[in-house]
Structure 1
């Protein structure tokens, strides 16, 4: 069984660019105020979702492993 991720978007930081929904339409959607929402709270590990988080100009997306809480993105510095 593969990794499961918890995906969160900080809507206080989200600027509604839509890059996440364009990069990973199965992972993100924009609401009527152009705020991003993950389509599911938990998902299988998905390269497109990771790419979307990396592309977010506001750095509003956090991904953690569901089982351990280990941060997948953003990388710890």
Structure 2
């Protein structure tokens, strides 16, 4: 799995960072999400899928490999 993130679409809701904190975080200055691990391990796949599903801006795209 590869995580693709469309930063301009991010509304800084923080859902991704709450659901998958090992993969997503938020910038301190504006709350926009950042990807910590663009190729998370299999143990993180369920959380990353949930993070993409709950993103209110649909800014997270997952490429299954």
Asked if TM exceeds 0.5, the reply is yes
Consecutive aligned runs of 4 or more in structure 1 exceeding 6 Å deviation: none
RMSD: 1.2
Bigger Rg, structure 1 or 2? 1
Give 1:31 shift: 0.9
Which structure has the highest helix share of the two?
Answer: 2
Q: TM-score, normalised by structure 2?
A: 0.85
How many equivalent residue pairs?
A: 62
Deviations 1:39-71 (A, max 9, x none): 1121124101100100000000011024xxxxx
TM-score for both structures, normalised by structure 1: 0.73
Q: Which runs of 5+ in 1 are unaligned?
A: 67-77
Note the residue ranges of structure 2 that are not aligned, 5 or more in a row: none
Structure ranking higher on relative contact order (CA contacts 8 Å, 6+ apart): 2
Structure (1/2) with the larger strand percentage: 1
